[in-house]
Amino acid sequence: MMGGTSGLEHLDELYESIILDHYHNPRNTDPLESPDIDVEAHNPFCGDEIHIQLDIENGKVSGVSVSGQGCAISQSSASLLAEMLDGTEATEALELVSLVRRMMRGDELSEEEQDQLGDTIALEGVKRFPVRIKCALLSWTALEDALNG
Ligand code: ZN
């Protein structure tokens, strides 16, 4: 267990292990050569930084790179995003963003919606810590802005 102010200490153990795994072994961190989308996001409240790169081919995410630095929640959330996004349609990616946001807002999600979220459901407990919600949503909001922009 991590102590102190990590925000993880009250989370479900399984969820905590998913978050820590993504924090320590982030997925898809290799930079892309000529990404179609290249966006950086910053959370001044916590000092989190995220860099997202995407290759988009025929409306589908064909390559994804996410890297950054900051707290365990922001970084694991970004890694989960990288894992979820690979191979999805851009429209699906936007659906995922809205699901993650609804999860953080405490909305009731259907079983199907929970399935759609995959391991990202591990971040659910973060909704109880308002300061941490920004950390969890940082990469997803940046992705949404980039896809809509
Ligand atoms: Zn943070």
Q: Is residue 9 part of a domain?
A: no
Across 10-19, 29-38, 84-93, least confident range: 10-19
Mean pLDDT on 43-67? 96
Residues with CB under 5 A from ligand 1 (ion): 46, 48, 71, 74, 135
- Return the CATH number at 34: 3.90.1010.10
Q: CA–CA separation, 102 vs 92, rounded Å?
A: 15
In this prediction, residue 4 has a pLDDT band, given cuts at 50, 70 and 90, of very low
Confidence (pLDDT) at 3: 43
- pLDDT value for 149: 79
Strand intervals (E) in the chain: 37-43, 48-57, 60-69
**C-alpha dihedral sign at 40, 119, 23, 82:** negative
In this structure, is residue 122 part of a structural domain? yes
- Whether the pLDDT of residue 126 is over 50: the answer is yes
Q: First CA to last CA across the chain, in angstroms?
A: 40
Q: Does residue 6 fall inside a structural domain?
A: no
How far is it, in rounded angstroms, from Cα 76 to Cα 82? 10
Cα of 58 vs centre of ligand 1, distance in Å, is 34
Calculate how far, in angstroms, residue 48's C-alpha sits from the geometric centre of ligand 1: 5
Q: How far apart are CA 14 and CA 33, in angstroms?
A: 36
Mean predicted lDDT score pLDDT of the chain: 92
Percent of the chain with pLDDT over 90: 85
For residue 20, being part of any structural domain is answered with: no
As for how many domains the chain has, the answer is 1
Percent of the chain with pLDDT over 70: 93
SS3 content of the chain, % helix, strand, coil (to 5): 55, 20, 30
Q: What is the pTM of this model?
A: 0.91
> Do the domain assignments include residue 1?
no
Q: How many residues does the chain have?
A: 149
Q: What is the pLDDT of residue 55?
A: 96
Look up the domain containing 54 and give its range. Answer: 27-148
